[in-house]
Amino acid sequence: MRAEKKTIVIYLLNGFQVRGKVWGFDNFTVIIDCDGRQELIYKHAISTIAPVEAESILVLKKGNDQSVPKE
């Protein structure tokens, strides 16, 4: 999502929502560009990250079925 510069919503553990584009990240933090200002969010405070626009995260191609065989 960062490479495509898509807008995301980050839901924090305290219920707060941050909406913006991922500007950068490291092992412990994420920097979000929100309306021209940057916000640093600690990863341990993040509950969920979701794209604003509906998007399929997993795309299966025909002939590339990697499902687990049934016993």
> Mean per-residue pLDDT for 51-61?
71
Classify the phi-psi angles of 9: left when phi > 0, otherwise alpha if psi is within -120 to 50, otherwise beta. beta
Q: Which residue from 36, 32, 45 is spatially nearest to 6, judged by alpha carbons?
A: 32
Q: How confident is the model at residue 5 (pLDDT cuts 50, 70, 90)?
A: confident
* Domains of the chain, each with CATH number or no CATH: 7-51 (2.30.30.100)
Per-residue pLDDT tens digits for 18-48: 999 999 999 999 999 999 999 999 999 999 9
